[in-house]
Amino acid sequence: MQSQTKIRWGIIGLGNIAHKFATDLLTVEDAQLYAVASRSRKTADEFSKKYNAIKAYGSYRELAEDKNVDAVYIATPHVFHKENTLMCLQQGIPVLCEKPFAMNINEVEEMIALAMEKKVLLMEAMWTYFLPHYQHVLNILQKKEYGNILKIEADFGITPEYNPLSRTFNKALGGGSLLDIGIYPIFAALSTLGIPNKIEASAKYFETGADASCHIQFYYDKNVKATLNSSFVDNTPTTATFYCEKATIKINRMFFLPTTVTIVTDKDEKTLDFGYKTLGYNYEAIHFNELIRQGKKQSPIMSFDFSRKLITLLDKVRSEIGLEYNLE
């Protein structure tokens, strides 16, 4: 049961993103990092000491069966999201699951169905949605302060050191640029323009079979287009630019992280700084805590409907580029 004071969090999967989430969770007043779980007890012990967690488990199931856990953050590789989420939902634990929610729409539907059956809160951890700069841009675009969107350009390209055994390049773990980082440009288009009428996409591949890069075009009514790119072989600007009738709104470098926004009109140019003090993961944690305290079963922002649309677009792009995963 939820504690009366702080919501006691568990983290399953203790890789890089779990460290970032734990770092920011320490800044959330009504939250406590209560338990962490890894397949390695040594890893769990080290992580718990670093972030002052009370419990450290050498298996995910042990954490799921701990009745003191009020919420769990799932940060395992993509291919395990469904399995780990279902395990926690069966125990009645609210789940914040890293993006992509799962590997395909069928897995996502299975997760949502169980959450609804058990009446347990479930949300995809698309943390960018909750960042103040992104919410500010969404508000401007939705109000059409600078007219309609004419086109979007968004990219995410980085060059991690190639290691065919690492999660990033391992197709068996859902590796590749599309699901790992291409989801962010696609999210930018979906959250502002919605579902496109037509999709074109092409990709290049690593020898592991994971996609090295993706070039994607979304086509909408009135000749509106979104050009989206992801890459593990090129460093790109990592910006999201919205070309409107009366201004260009640019979310600057690493647009999916806490960053600045530049708005250019015929009259002037201004850059907005949102004064971030954290890595940015605290915003989704605060939102999730509020949902728990209010007894909500899904987020009005990162809703089931939005997650369905997002994974459906990823599935369609995968179909366009011929990317298939062998899922049991």
pLDDT at site 5: 83
Buried b (16+ CB within 10 A) or exposed e, 199-214: bebebebbebbbbbbb
Beta carbons within 8 Å of 301's beta carbon, 6+ residues apart: 129, 130, 287
Handedness of CA 280, 216, 97, 309 (dihedral sign): positive
pLDDT at site 327: 75
Locate CATH 3.40.50.720 in the chain.
7-126
Is the distance from CB of 186 to CB of 313 less than 8 angstroms? yes
pLDDT, tens digit (0-9, with 9 covering 90-100), for 83-131: 999 999 999 999 999 999 999 999 999 999 999 999 999 999 999 999 9
- Average pLDDT of the segment spanning 183-205: 98
Question: Could you tell me the fold of the domain covering 132-279+312-321?
Answer: Dihydrodipicolinate Reductase; domain 2 (3.30.360)
Is the distance from CB of 50 to CB of 76 less than 8 angstroms? no
- Average pLDDT of the segment spanning 206-217: 97
pLDDT at 219 over 90: yes
Active site residue: 20, 42, 55, 99, which one? 99
99 in active site: yes
Q: Which helix (H) or strand (E) element contains residue 133?
A: helix 132-143
pLDDT, tens digit (0-9, with 9 covering 90-100), for 230-263: 999 999 999 999 999 999 999 999 999 999 999 9
Locate CATH 3.30.360.10 in the chain.
132-279+312-321
Q: Enter the tokens of residue 229.
A: 């790119």
- The whole-model pTM stands at 0.96
pLDDT at 2 over 60: no
Half-sphere exposure of residue 326: CA atoms within 13 angstroms, side-chain side: 4
Average pLDDT over the chain, rounded to an integer: 96
pLDDT, tens digit (0-9, with 9 covering 90-100), for 265-289: 999 999 999 999 999 999 999 999 9
- Range of weakest confidence among 162-176, 177-191, 192-206, 262-276: 162-176
Give residue 328's pLDDT band: very low, low, confident or very high (50, 70, 90): low
Q: Enter the tokens of residue 162.
A: 């190639």
End-to-end CA distance of the chain: 34
- Average pLDDT of the segment spanning 301-318: 98
Q: Which helix (H) or strand (E) element contains residue 191?
A: helix 183-193
Residues, the chain: 328
Instruction: Please state the φ and ψ torsions of residue 193, each to the nearest 5 degrees.
Output: -115, -15
Buried b (16+ CB within 10 A) or exposed e, 15-24: eebbebbbbb
pLDDT at 1 over 70: no
- Average pLDDT of the segment spanning 17-44: 97
pLDDT at site 3: 45
Q: Establish whether the linkage from the previous residue to 258 is cis, with ω within 30° of 0.
A: no
pLDDT at site 4: 58
Given the candidates 3.40.50.970, 3.30.70.1380, 3.40.50.720, 3.40.50.300, the CATH classification of the domain at 7-126 is: 3.40.50.720
pLDDT at site 282: 98
